[in-house]
A = this chain, B = another copy of it.
Amino acid sequence: MIRVPTDVIFRSAAETDLPAIVALLADDVIGAGREDVSSAAYLTAFREVTADPRNQLVVADAGGEVAGTLQLTYIPGISRMGAERAQIEGVRVAAAHRSRGLGREMINWAIEQAKARGCGLVQLTSDKRRSDAIRFYESLGFESTHEGMKLRL
Contacts and interface: CB of A to CB of B under 8 A. Distances in A.
Interface of A: 18, 21-22, 25, 31, 34-36, 39, 41-46, 48-49, 52, 54-55, 57, 71, 73, 75-84, 87, 89-90, 111, 114-115, 119-128, 134, 137-138, 140-153
Contacts of A119: 153
Copies in the complex: 2
Contacts of A75: 55, 73, 87, 89
Contacts of A43: 82
A149 B125 contact: yes
B140 A150 contact: no
A82 B44 contact: yes
